[in-house]
A and B are shown apart, each in its own frame.
Chain A
């Protein structure tokens, strides 16, 4: 076992457990503001909101609409990262759950049972990851890699290697329905996330997760069931991925085992990193992660709106993630802090 990185780092001052310090808000907010500024300059229509057939309509709504699955993934990922882990399998879980849902709807299973079974499949995937990490003590990257590799195979097995399409009133609502002018999926996602955030931050659970992420052995000795917390974190991540998979499948009224959720695990990790979480575990911010999701999704939408080929997304995202990593790395932070401290005393003297 190597020492968790957070132990060797200088202790950081933290206020509260919810949102992080002002400094941590600064970076993602600046990024979001920058993206909006560029958009405002390039296409002023970006911010226009209209009402078409009783639905709110515009680029900003589109960001929320498309960002809903990513927000779910990112919150699950953020909790897993808080425990010092990572979940690479969420993309594969999306494919599995989407495929399962499509096949069940085709078989005329009732919507309620379909939902329960699909979410159950996500929980099962999460349980598998959690058991590997917590009981067999396999490194999280590797443990979740197994499902990442095998998961798409399982999804293809479920669909029989074909793209399964379906027609369903109930799930069509989930994909593209509206409720009081807002997209249904945004409202549902907000509900789920609200519940999750309340569960994690209004109870001691968040603290336990951070304790396990900081030092699993120490928190076990302090009386925390670290094994249970770890398994729970992967269960939540699996459940979030299952829900995201349902939304994605419902959106296109079909399931594509090969491409559903492809590379979304990367976007989710990116959102968490932009949200200022430490990949070594021990600290995570759910609110900031949601902000990170907005940054990623606005970036994606802006590239689409600006008329560049969608593939350039990757290039831009890579540069953004590199910049964020460098700014948040310890050597750069220390140098910045040193520079600030040298400057600060001068006006007083």
Chain B
């Protein structure tokens, strides 16, 4: 049974490798570290948000507010730096704190008022998008030297590629998420609550504490994704990243995390995010395919992985019954 849990992640890895091998076989430059570095950089914000989303989905919930949170954080930072004259680091710290608090409040509402996660986070999605518009209706550029330093910081990879600051932050968050989920009591509690809420409560797990923590984590990673996105685009735009929550959820699901909660790995989310990135890169390399194919292919992959999960969890169920 321990091995069976790895099957979705292994399947994801296989798909990623196949897609990459296909790219390498078709295009001469696909194997270069330049492509690899860009892959990590371009998808950094999706994967960062994905780490928090994985925790939320592991706990049996869902967070639809990610895209709005990214846009809101971007506009907030841009205004704090550009108009209020804050130091970028102070603005970033404030935005991260705010994101975490908003997430925690959401978790509290979900547990204390027995509301469904998707409707609460849906309301928050509207709320944050509205707040972003309230702050500014137009794109706000940010151009202090710090942003440039951040953008220029990079570690050279062998070959022509770079590991940028965005990619580094993403890897650190990923590592932290893996430690949090797999090696701490909080992580164990998240799996327990996602597996069966009432059993977990009977075993003495604080359901409220866990849920508040989980959504606070998701708020933090969404805000951090917003920070990275803002530094990456050097502007805050209230209409940015509409629908990114779907990309993030797709990354988590393709990464093998069960949407019913309780089963999955943070590492899978990295793979899921990278698969989407490879598909986009393939379409960009091809040149004749249109961008909508990305959506269709991702939808198709989502479908395949969900059906795979369905079949696996069914065999889980029959195994449990037999035991």
What residues make up the interface of A, taking CB atoms closer than 8 Å to B? 2, 5, 86, 136-139, 141-143, 145-154, 156-157, 161, 257, 262, 266, 269, 273, 279-280, 309, 311-319, 321-322, 325-326, 329-332
Q: How far is the CA of A143 from the CA of B310 in the complex (A)?
A: 11
Q: How far is the CA of A139 from the CA of B118 in the complex (A)?
A: 13
Contact (Cβ within 8 A) A331 B260? no
Are A153 and B130 CB-contacts (below 8 A) given A141-B62, A279-B119, A326-B113? no
Interface residues as binary, B269-309 with A (CB distance below 8 Å gives 1, 0 otherwise): 00000000000000000000011111110111011001100
Contact (Cβ within 8 A) A311 B122? no
Are A314 and B129 CB-contacts (below 8 A) given A152-B292, A309-B137, A329-B113? yes
Chain A-chain B contacts (Cβ-Cβ < 8 Å), number = 126
Q: Is the interface of B mostly helix, strand, loop or mixed?
A: helix
Contact (Cβ within 8 A) B310 A136? yes
Are A142 and B306 CB-contacts (below 8 A) given A152-B295, A318-B123, A325-B123? yes
- The residue in A148, A153, A326 that gathers the most chain B C-beta atoms within 10 A of its C-beta is A153
Closest to B122 in A: A266
Q: Give the bracket for the number of chain B residues in contact with chain A.
A: 35 or more
Contact (Cβ within 8 A) A332 B113? yes
Question: Does residue B1 face the partner (Cβ distance < 8 Å to A)?
Answer: no
Q: How far is the CA of A150 from the CA of B300 in the complex (A)?
A: 7
Which residues from A are CB-within-8-Å of B137?
309, 311
Return B298 CB to nearest CB of chain A, in Å: 6
Which residues from A are CB-within-8-Å of B302?
145-146, 149-150
Are A149 and B127 CB-contacts (below 8 A) given A269-B119, A273-B119, A312-B133? no
Q: How far is the CA of A86 from the CA of B119 in the complex (A)?
A: 11
Which residues from A are CB-within-8-Å of B123?
318, 321-322, 325
Instruction: Please list 22 pairs of residues, one from A and one from B, whose beta carbons are closer than 8 Å in the complex, sorted by A's number.
Output: A86-B118, A138-B310, A141-B118, A143-B306, A148-B246, A150-B299, A153-B299, A157-B290, A257-B292, A266-B125, A269-B122, A311-B137, A311-B238, A312-B134, A314-B129, A315-B131, A315-B133, A321-B119, A329-B114, A330-B113, A331-B112, A332-B113
Closest to A153 in B: B295
Partner of A266, one of B114, B126, B253: B126
Contact (Cβ within 8 A) A157 B119? no
Which residues from A are CB-within-8-Å of B122?
266, 269, 321
Which residues from A are CB-within-8-Å of B115?
325, 329
Contact (Cβ within 8 A) A157 B296? yes
7 pairs of A and B residues whose beta carbons are closest in the complex: A150-B299, A315-B130, A153-B295, A318-B126, A318-B127, A314-B130, A156-B292
Contact (Cβ within 8 A) A153 B293? yes
Are A149 and B250 CB-contacts (below 8 A) given A137-B310, A326-B113? yes
Q: How far is the CA of A309 from the CA of B238 in the complex (A)?
A: 14
Which residues from A are CB-within-8-Å of B131?
315
Q: How far is the CA of A149 from the CA of B305 in the complex (A)?
A: 14
Contact (Cβ within 8 A) B114 A330? yes
Return A170 CB to nearest CB of chain B, in Å: 29
Question: Does residue B116 face the partner (Cβ distance < 8 Å to A)?
Answer: yes
Are A314 and B296 CB-contacts (below 8 A) given A149-B302, A273-B119, A330-B114? no
Return B285 CB to nearest CB of chain A, in Å: 19
Closest to A322 in B: B123
Closest to A309 in B: B137
Which residues from B are CB-within-8-Å of A317?
126, 130
Contact (Cβ within 8 A) A139 B295? no
Are A153 and B126 CB-contacts (below 8 A) given A269-B119, A273-B119, A311-B137? no
Q: How far is the CA of A138 from the CA of B293 in the complex (A)?
A: 24
Which residues from A are CB-within-8-Å of B246?
145, 148-149
Which residues from B are CB-within-8-Å of A330?
113-114
Question: Does residue B259 face the partner (Cβ distance < 8 Å to A)?
Answer: yes
Q: How far is the CA of A311 from the CA of B131 in the complex (A)?
A: 9
Closest to B307 in A: A136
Which residues from B are CB-within-8-Å of A147?
299
Partner of B119, one of A2, A312, A315, A325: A325
Closest to A142 in B: B259
Contact (Cβ within 8 A) A331 B113? yes
Are A153 and B294 CB-contacts (below 8 A) given A314-B126, A315-B127? yes
Q: How far is the CA of A93 from the CA of B250 in the complex (A)?
A: 19
Q: How far is the CA of A154 from the CA of B292 in the complex (A)?
A: 7
Return B103 CB to nearest CB of chain A, in Å: 15
Return B122 CB to nearest CB of chain A, in Å: 6
Q: How far is the CA of A70 from the CA of B209 in the complex (A)?
A: 39
Question: Does residue B249 face the partner (Cβ distance < 8 Å to A)?
Answer: yes
Q: How far is the CA of A317 from the CA of B123 in the complex (A)?
A: 8
Q: How far is the CA of A311 from the CA of B300 in the complex (A)?
A: 33
Question: Does residue B147 face the partner (Cβ distance < 8 Å to A)?
Answer: no
Q: How far is the CA of A318 from the CA of B134 in the complex (A)?
A: 13
